[in-house]
C-alpha cells in the first residue's frame, strides 16, 4: 500500500503526533522501568533533554564494530501511548504508519509485537487489525533502537540522532484496497495509469464484481481499457486475488509540467464493490512531462535543461532531523528565490510532502535511496547479507515516489563503492520504472568512460572545471555529465561558481550540478549546560547569529568523539536559513534574464527553457561613481523573447542623457516578479543584471600641498588623529575553511604570515613635507620590503605603497594595508560591489553601485570565524560621512570590528568580541576563496604570490 498517495484530507486517518510517554534505556535488552518522562513525537530524543546527545561524524562510524555488528551500549527509546480506534472503523483494516525512525523500530500493540522496521527515511506500516478493538483503548509501544546492522548503511555525513523523526498515524482501509497506482503522463498529454487492487479480507480473494474508476482533471471520467482487460483474460493473467486495471487519457492542449511551469492536474483512482460503493480512493497531483536521455543530453520535455541544483539534508537547528511542512516549504521557497531549479534529496528519501511541494513549486528532484555505507563501503557493496536491504531501500523509494513529476532521476544512494548489491537494485528499477534514468556516483569509480551499468548519468563529485571540460571535449563522453556534488559551501567559500557556470554553459555535454549543500547543520546550543536548546529555543537566533548565551554547535561541541568538527557546517544557508552571500552569487548566475552590451548593442536574453519573460517586471537604474546620483528608476519594457532567445532592448535615454559629464557609469536592469508566484510575492527581486556604460576615468594624482608635513613616530608609523592603529602591511587573513582544510592555513603559519614583525628601516621627510618610510617584514621565505610614501594634501593625506615579495613567497592570502579607526564609526558607505560580501572569485552577486550599511552588519557570521566581510571592486568609501578613503583603482576592501588575529583565534562566532574601532583592510591583491575544503583549490588566476605590488589611497577626514 505504500505506493498509493492518499490525500491528506481524507478522513480515514488518525494522527498520533504529540506527547508520548518515553524512557531511554541503555540497551535494547534492558527492561523498561516504571519511571516515564515525556517526549514529543515526532522528535529526536537527542534534542529533547535526554542524556543521549547529537554526535557528528562525516563518514567514520562512531563506534568500532564492523558490519553487521553494532555496539552493546545502544540507546533505546521506548515511546508509549494509548490509542482509541474509533468504533466507526469496525470491520476495516487498521494500519499503523510510522513515518521515520532511527534506526530500528519494534512496534507493539496491546502488548503484542506487530512487526519491526528498518530503513530510517521511509515509513514502516503494520496491519494491526487483529491487535486492536475499535472503541476500546489500546497501548501502542514503539521501541526505537539507535544502532543496528542498518547503521552501517546509514553512514551519511550529518549528525547522528535517535528518535521518531516523522509523523505517526493510524489509517483505516476497507479490505478491498488500491495496492498500487502507476501513472505515466507525457508532455504530449497522454496518460496511462495501471492500477492494482487487493483484498486483505478472509482468504484475500477479491469480491466478485469489483471495479476501478479513474478521474482526470481536463479529461473527466476515464474508461477502463477493455482491450487490456481482454488481453489479460486471453493470456490467463486474471487472478482472483490481484485485480488489475488500466486507464488511458489524452488531455487536449495539455500544459506540460516543468520546474518553470509546474502545472499539475488532479487525478483520482477509486476502487468499488459491485454495488458501486467506493472502498478506497487514491488522489494524485500529476504532471505531464517527459524525461529522456539522448546521447549526452538529459531532456525534459525535449529540452536540454541546465540543472542548477543543491543537495539538501533534513535539518533543523532546534529539532535536529525533524522538519515540519512549513520548514520544508520554506527550504524550497528559498531555493526557488535564489535560482535553484533542482534538489538532490541527499542522502535518503524525504518526507512525501517534500515531493508534493517540489511538484507544486517546480523543482527537479534526484530522489536518493537511504544507502551510504561510507566507512565500510567496499566490504558492504558486495556483501550478500546487505543485498536485501539495498533492493528494499531502492524499491520502496521508487514505489512511494514514482508518481511525482518532480522526480526526474533515481539515485541508488551515496558513497557506497560499487557492487553486486547496486546492480540488483538498479535491475529492479529498470524493470519497474523504465521512464526515468538512474544515477549512482559510485558506478564511476573505474573511470567516466566505462561507467558500470547502474548509472545513466556521469555524476561525479567535486571534479574540477578543467576535468569536466576536458572530458566533454575528449570525444569519449557518451552520457550527460551532471555533478552530483560540487562547490562545497563550507564557511566563506564557493569560489569560482561563475567559472563553473561559464564552462557548463559553453560546453556541450556539461549540464549542471548540485552544490554541496543547502544547510549549515549548526545545532542551537545553550552555553550554560552545553545542551541543545531544543524546540523551546525558538527565537534564540536572527540573521545567522545565535542569540545571547547560545551558539551554533558543530562536531565535538556535545563532547562527541570521534567527530569531524565544523565539516558539518557547509551549506549555502545558515542554521536559521539566512542566505549566505553565495546565494546572491547563485541567483545572478541562474538569472532567467541576462543583459549584454556588445557589438550587437544592448540585448536581453531569455535564459529559461520553457517560459517567456511576461512574468517579469523590469526597471532601469543608473549609478555613477563619485557622487550619488539618486535618480528614480524608470520602468523598462521587456521585449518578447522566446526561451533561449535574445532581443534588442532600448536603453533608458532619459537616464543616460542626464548622466554627469564624468565618471564610471553602470546601467542596471532590476527584475522583479510581475505578479505573485507560488514561491514569491509580486514585486520580488529576481535578479539585477548590469552593464557598464562608461569606463572609469583614470585615478588622477591629487593636488599635493606644501607645508603640512605628515607626522610619523619613532617607529616610522603614521601619526594621524583619526587612526588608532596606523596603516601597516598585511599578508594574513584568518584562514577560511577552504584555506585550513586545503592545507594553506598551516603553510601560511609556517611562513610566519600570521605574526609578521615590522622592522622600520628608514624614514625621511623631504622639503615638500612628504615622508618616505621603508620597513621590512621577515617571513620564512625571506624579507618583504614595504615602502610607504606619505604625501600631505590640503585636506588629508595620500599614501602610496609598494610591497616587494621575495620569490619564495608564493600563494599567500593577501597583500595590502590594514589600519584601525580612532572613532567608533557606525556606517559604511561605499562605491563598489555590494551589498553582499564579494571576493575575487565570488563577485557576480554584488552589483556595482553606491551601497551603505551598518558596520556591524558587514561581517558575515560564519560559524567558525574566518575571513569575512570583504567587498570587491571598491572605488571609494566613507565612514559616517566623516572619514573618506579613495582608492587608485577598484580594490578588495573590508571594514569590520574584528582583527584577523581575533578571527583566527576564535572557534565559534559567539567568542568574538567586537572592537570599538573599525578594522579596515585595503588589498592590492586578495586570494580567491576556491572550494578546497572538499574539491579543487582556488584557480591559479585568483592566487596571490611573489612580485612587486603597488597601490595608493587617500584619506580625508573632517578632523584632518
Ligand atoms: C561527499 C559526501 O557525499 C557528502 O555527504 C559530504 O560528506 C561531502 O562529501 C563533503 O561535505 S563525499 C567526499 C568523499 C567527497
Q: Spell out the domain ranges in the chain.
A: 17-166, 176-185+187-286, 325-521+569-583, 592-688, 723-957
Model confidence band, residue 12 (pLDDT cutoffs 50, 70, 90): confident
Separation of CA 567 and ligand 1 centre (Å)? 10
Q: Which of 368, 372, 441, 485 is catalytic?
A: 485
pLDDT at 248: 96
pLDDT at 348: 98
Separation of CA 953 and ligand 1 centre (Å)? 44
The answer, yes or no, to whether residue 6 has pLDDT greater than 60, is no
654 is catalytic: no
| Protein residue closest via CA to atom 5 of ligand 1 | 157
- CA neighbor of 561 nearest in space, from 928, 63, 134, 218: 63
Q: Which residues contact 220 (CB under 8 A, 6 or more apart)?
A: none
The answer, yes or no, to whether residue 48 has pLDDT greater than 50, is yes
Model confidence band, residue 632 (pLDDT cutoffs 50, 70, 90): confident
* DSSP 8-state class, residue 503: H
Pocket test of ligand 1: the residue of 58, 445, 517, 518 to mutate, having most ligand atoms within 8 Å of its CB, is 58
pLDDT at 66: 97
**Cα–Cα distance, 549 to 541 (Å, whole number):** 11
Q: Which residues contact 666 (CB under 8 A, 6 or more apart)?
A: 622, 623, 624, 690, 691, 692, 693, 847, 848, 849
Pocket test of ligand 1: the residue of 157, 741, 932 to mutate, having most ligand atoms within 8 Å of its CB, is 157
- CA neighbor of 890 nearest in space, from 877, 879, 903: 877
At residue 549, φ and ψ (nearest 5 deg) are: 75, 10
Q: Which atom of ligand 1 is closest in space to residue 59's alpha carbon?
A: 7
| Protein residue closest via CA to atom 4 of ligand 1 | 157
Beta strand spans in 481-526 (E): 481-486, 510-515, 523-526
Q: Which atom of ligand 1 is closest in space to residue 156's alpha carbon?
A: 5
Say yes or no: do domains 176-185+187-286 and 592-688 share a fold: yes
Secondary structure element (H or E) that encloses residue 394, with its range: helix 387-401
pTM of the model: 0.97
Q: Which of the two residues, 201 and 570, has the higher pLDDT score?
A: 570
CB atoms under 10 Å from CB of 320, counted, come to 29
Separation of CA 936 and ligand 1 centre (Å)? 14
Ranges 8-12, 71-75, 579-583: which has the least confidence: 8-12
Peptide bond preceding 517: is omega within 30 degrees of 0, i.e. cis? yes
Residue with grid cell 542548477, as numbered in its chain = 308
**Cα–Cα distance, 922 to 872 (Å, whole number):** 10
**Cα–Cα distance, 13 to 33 (Å, whole number):** 32
pLDDT at 706: 62
Q: Which atom of ligand 1 is closest in space to residue 346's alpha carbon?
A: 5
Q: Which atom of ligand 1 is closest in space to residue 484's alpha carbon?
A: 3
Residue 226 sits at the vertex; the CA angle it makes with 224 and 230, to the nearest 5 degrees, is 140
| Protein residue closest via CA to atom 13 of ligand 1 | 934
- Per the prediction, the chain carries an average pLDDT of 94
Assign domain 176-185+187-286 to its CATH architecture.
Sandwich (2.60)
| Protein residue closest via CA to atom 14 of ligand 1 | 415
Secondary structure element (H or E) that encloses residue 505, with its range: helix 497-506
Ligand 1 neighbours, Cβ below 6 Å, are 58, 156-157, 414-415, 461-462, 485, 488, 516, 570, 934
**Cα–Cα distance, 658 to 686 (Å, whole number):** 27
For 240-282, write each residue's pLDDT tens digit.
899 999 999 999 999 999 999 999 999 999 999 999 999 999 9
Give the count of alpha carbons within 13 A of 832, CB side only.
Answer: 30
Peptide bond preceding 179: is omega within 30 degrees of 0, i.e. cis? no
Q: Which residues contact 633 (CB under 8 A, 6 or more apart)?
A: 619, 620, 621, 670
The answer, yes or no, to whether residue 2 has pLDDT greater than 60, is no
By CB neighbour count within 10 A (0-12 exposed, 13-18 middle, 19+ buried), where does 518 fall? buried
pLDDT at 705: 66
Contact 139, 145 (CB under 8 A): no
| Protein residue closest via CA to atom 12 of ligand 1 | 415
pLDDT at 420: 96
For 363-376, write each residue's pLDDT tens digit.
999 999 999 999 99
Peptide bond preceding 68: is omega within 30 degrees of 0, i.e. cis? yes
Separation of CA 372 and ligand 1 centre (Å)? 11
Q: Which atom of ligand 1 is closest in space to residue 414's alpha carbon?
A: 3
Question: What does DSSP say about strands 163-164 and 101-102: parallel, antiparallel, or unpaired?
Answer: antiparallel
For 552-604, write each residue's pLDDT tens digit.
999 999 999 999 999 999 999 999 999 999 999 999 999 999 999 999 999 99
CATH topology of domain 325-521+569-583: TIM Barrel (3.20.20)
pLDDT at 658: 85
Contact 521, 158 (CB under 8 A): yes
Cα torsion angle, 378, 382, 384, 388, sign:
positive
Contact 499, 939 (CB under 8 A): yes
- CA neighbor of 793 nearest in space, from 706, 861, 729: 706
Separation of CA 336 and ligand 1 centre (Å)? 24
pLDDT at 4: 55
* CATH node for 723-957: 2.70.98.10
Separation of CA 157 and ligand 1 centre (Å)? 7
Q: Which of 102, 415, 585, 837 is catalytic?
A: 415
The answer, yes or no, to whether residue 630 has pLDDT greater than 70, is no
852 is catalytic: no
Mean pLDDT score, 470-498 = 97
Task: Look up residue 191 and give its three cell numbers.
Answer: 496518460
pLDDT at 235: 87
Pocket test of ligand 1: the residue of 516, 518, 742 to mutate, having most ligand atoms within 8 Å of its CB, is 516
Q: Which atom of ligand 1 is closest in space to residue 488's alpha carbon?
A: 11
Task: Look up residue 425 and give its three cell numbers.
Answer: 537494485
Contact 833, 874 (CB under 8 A): yes
For 723-763, write each residue's pLDDT tens digit.
999 999 999 999 999 999 999 999 999 999 999 999 999 99
**Cα–Cα distance, 96 to 140 (Å, whole number):** 10
CATH topology of domain 17-166: Jelly Rolls (2.60.120)
Residue with grid cell 529540452, as numbered in its chain = 303
Separation of CA 393 and ligand 1 centre (Å)? 21
The answer, yes or no, to whether residue 9 has pLDDT greater than 60, is no
**Cα–Cα distance, 743 to 932 (Å, whole number):** 9
Q: Which CATH superfamily is domain 592-688 in?
A: Immunoglobulins (2.60.40.10)
Separation of CA 461 and ligand 1 centre (Å)? 8
Secondary structure element (H or E) that encloses residue 234, with its range: helix 226-234
Q: Which atom of ligand 1 is closest in space to residue 517's alpha carbon?
A: 11
Amino acid at each position: 500500500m505504500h505506493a498509493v498517495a492518499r490525500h491528506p484530507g481524507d478522513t480515514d486517518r488518525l494522527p498520533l503526533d504529540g506527547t508520548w510517554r518515553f524512557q531511554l534505556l541503555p540497551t535494547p535488552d534492558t527492561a523498561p522501568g516504571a519511571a516515564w518522562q515525556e517526549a514529543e513525537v515526532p522528535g529526536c530524543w537527542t534534542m529533547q533533554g535526554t542524556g543521549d546527545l547529537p554526535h557528528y561524524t562525516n563518514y567514520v562510524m562512531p563506534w568500532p564494530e564492523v558490519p553487521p555488528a553494532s555496539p552493546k551500549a545502544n540507546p533505546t527509546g521506548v515511546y508509549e501511548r494509548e490509542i482509541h480506534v474509533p468504533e466507526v472503523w469496525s470491520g476495516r483494516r487498521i494500519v499503523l504508519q510510522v513515518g521515520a525512525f532511527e534506526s530500528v523500530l519494534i512496534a507493539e500493540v496491546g502488548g503484542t509485537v506487530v512487526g519491526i522496521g528498518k530503513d530510517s527515511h521511509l515509513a514502516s506500516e503494520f496491519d494491526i487489525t487483529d491487535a486492536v478493538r475499535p472503541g476500546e483503548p489500546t497501548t501502542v509501544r514503539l521501541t526505537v533502537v539507535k544502532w543496528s546492522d542498518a547503521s552501517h548503511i546509514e553512514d551519511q555525513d550529518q549528525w547522528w540522532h535517535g528518535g521518531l523523526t516523522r509523523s505517526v498515524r493510524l489509517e483505516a482501509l476497507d479490505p478491498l484496497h488500491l495496492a498500487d497506482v502507476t501513472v505515466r503522463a507525457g508532455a504530449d498529454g497522454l496518460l496511462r495509469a495501471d492500477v492494482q487492487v487487493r483484498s486483505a479480507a478472509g482468504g484475500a480473494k477479491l469480491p466478485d464484481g469489483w471495479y476501478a474508476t479513474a478521474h482526470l482533471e481536463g479529461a473527466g471520467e476515464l474508461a477502463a481499457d477493455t482491450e487490456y482487460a481482454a488481453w489479460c483474460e486471453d493470456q490467463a493473467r486474471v487472478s482472483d486475488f490481484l485485480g488489475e486495471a488500466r486507464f488511458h487519457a489524452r488531455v487536449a492542449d495539455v500544459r506540460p509540467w516543468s520546474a518553470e511551469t509546474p502545472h499539475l492536474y488532479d487525478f483520482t483512482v477509486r476502487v468499488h464493490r459491485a454495488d458501486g460503493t467506493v472502498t478506497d480512493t487514491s488522489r494524485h497531483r500529476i504532471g505531464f512531462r517527459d524525461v529522456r536521455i539522448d546521447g549526452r543530453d538529459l531532456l525534459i520535455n525535449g529540452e536540454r535543461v541546465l540543472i542548477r541544483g543543491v543537495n539538501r539534508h533534513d535539518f533543523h537547528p532546534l529539532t535536529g532531523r525533524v522538519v515540519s511542512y512549513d520548514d520544508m516549504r520554506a527550504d524550497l521557497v528559498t531555493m526557488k528565490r535564489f535560482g535553484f531549479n533542482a534538489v538532490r534529496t541527499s542522502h535518503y528519501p524525504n518526507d512525501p510532502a517534500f515531493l508534493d511541494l517540489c511538484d507544486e513549486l517546480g523543482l527537479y528532484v534526484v530522489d536518493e535511496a537511504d544507502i551510504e555505507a561510507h566507512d565500510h563501503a567496499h566490504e558492504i557493496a558486495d556483501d550478500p547479507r546487505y543485498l536485501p536491504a539495498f533492493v528494499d531501500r531502492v524499491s520502496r523509494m521508487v514505489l512511494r515516489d514514482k508518481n511525482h513529476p518532480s522526480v526526474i532521476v533515481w539515485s541508488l544512494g551515496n558513497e557506497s563503492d560499487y557492487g553486486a548489491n547496486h546492480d540488483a537494485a538498479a535491475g529492479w528499477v529498470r524493470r519497474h520504472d523504465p521512464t526515468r534514468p538512474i544515477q549512482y556516483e559510485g558506478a564511476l569509480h573505474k573511470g567516466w568512460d566505462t561507467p558500470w551499468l547502474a548509472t545513466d548519468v556521469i555524476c561525479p563529485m567535486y571534479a574540477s572545471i578543467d576535468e569536466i571540460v576536458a572530458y566533454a571535449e575528449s570525444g569519449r563522453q557518451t552520457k550527460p555529465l551532471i555533478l552530483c556534488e560540487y562547490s562545497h559551501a563550507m564557511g566563506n567559500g564557493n569560489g569560482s561558481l561563475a567559472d563553473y557556470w561559464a564552462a557548463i554553459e559553453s560546453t556541450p555535454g556539461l549540464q549542471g550540478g548540485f552544490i554541496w549543500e543547502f544547510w549549515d547543520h549548526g545545532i542551537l546550543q545553550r552555553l550554560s549546560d552545553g545542551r541543545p536548546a531544543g524546540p523551546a529555543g525558538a527565537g534564540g537566533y536572527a540573521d545567522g547569529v545565535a542569540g545571547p548565551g547560545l551558539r551554533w554547535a558543530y562536531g565535538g561541541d556535545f563532547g562527541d568523539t570521534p567527530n569531524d568538527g565544523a565539516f558539518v557546517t557547509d551549506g549555502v544557508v545558515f542554521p536559521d536559513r539566512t542566505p549566505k552571500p553565495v546565494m546572491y552569487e547563485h541567483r545572478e548566475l541562474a538569472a532567467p534574464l541576462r543583459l549584454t552590451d556588445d557589438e550587437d548593442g544592448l540585448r536581453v536574453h531569455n535564459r529559461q527553457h520553457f517560459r517567456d519573460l511576461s512574468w517579469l517586471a523590469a526597471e532601469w537604474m543608473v549609478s555613477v561613481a563619485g557622487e550619488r546620483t539618486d535618480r528614480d528608476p524608470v520602468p523598462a519594457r521587456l521585449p518578447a523573447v522566446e526561451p533561449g532567445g535574445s532581443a534588442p532592448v532600448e536603453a533608458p535615454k532619459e537616464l543616460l542623457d542626464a548622466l554627469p559629464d564624468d565618471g564610471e557609469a553602470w546601467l542596471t536592469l532590476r527584475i522583479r516578479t510581475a505578479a505573485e508566484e507560488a514561491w514569491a510575492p509580486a514585486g520580488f527581486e529576481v535578479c539585477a543584471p548590469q552593464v557598464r556604460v562608461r569606463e572609469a576615468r583614470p585615478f588622477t594624482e591629487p593636488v599635493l600641498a606644501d607645508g603640512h608635513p605628515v607626522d610619523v613616530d619613532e617607529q616610522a608609523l603614521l601619526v594621524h588623529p583619526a587612526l588608532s592603529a596606523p596603516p601597516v602591511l598585511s599578508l594574513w587573513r584568518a584562514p577560511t575553511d577552504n584555506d585550513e582544510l586545503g592545507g594553506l592555513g598551516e603553510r601560511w603559519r609556517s611562513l610566519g604570515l600570521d605574526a609578521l614583525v615590522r622592522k622600520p628601516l628608514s624614514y625621511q621627510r623631504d622639503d615638500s613635507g612628504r615622508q618616505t618610510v621603508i620597513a621590512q617584514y621577515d617571513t620564512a621565505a625571506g624579507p618583504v620590503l614595504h615602502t610607504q610614501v606619505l604625501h600631505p594634501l590640503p585636506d588629508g593625506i595620500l599614501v602610496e605603497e609598494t610591497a616587494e615579495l621575495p620569490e619564495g613567497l608564493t600563494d599567500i592570502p593577501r597583500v595590502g594595508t590594514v589600519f584601525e579607526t580612532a572613532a567608533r564609526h557606525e556606517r559604511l558607505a561605499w562605491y563598489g560591489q555590494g551589498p553582499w560580501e564579494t571576493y575575487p572569485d565570488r563577485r557576480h552577486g554584488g552589483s556595482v553601485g553606491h551601497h551603505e550599511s551598518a558596520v556591524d552588519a558587514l561581517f558575515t557570521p560564519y560559524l567558525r570565524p574566518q575571513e569575512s566581510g570583504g567587498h570587491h571592486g571598491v572605488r571609494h568609501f566613507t565612514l559616517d560621512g566623516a572619514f573618506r578613503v579613495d582608492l587608485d583603482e577598484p580594490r578588495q576592501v573590508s571594514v569590520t570590528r574584528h582583527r584577523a588575529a581575533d578571527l583566527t583565534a576564535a572557534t565559534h562566532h559567539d567568542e568574538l568580541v567586537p572592537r570599538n574601532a573599525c578594522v579596515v583592510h585595503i588589498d592590492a591583491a586578495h586570494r580567491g576563496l576556491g572550494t578546497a575544503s572538499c574539491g579543487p583549490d582556488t584557480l591559479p588566476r585568483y592566487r596571490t604570490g611573489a612580485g612587486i605590488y603597488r597601490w595608493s589611497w587617500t584619506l580625508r577626514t573632517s578632523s584632518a
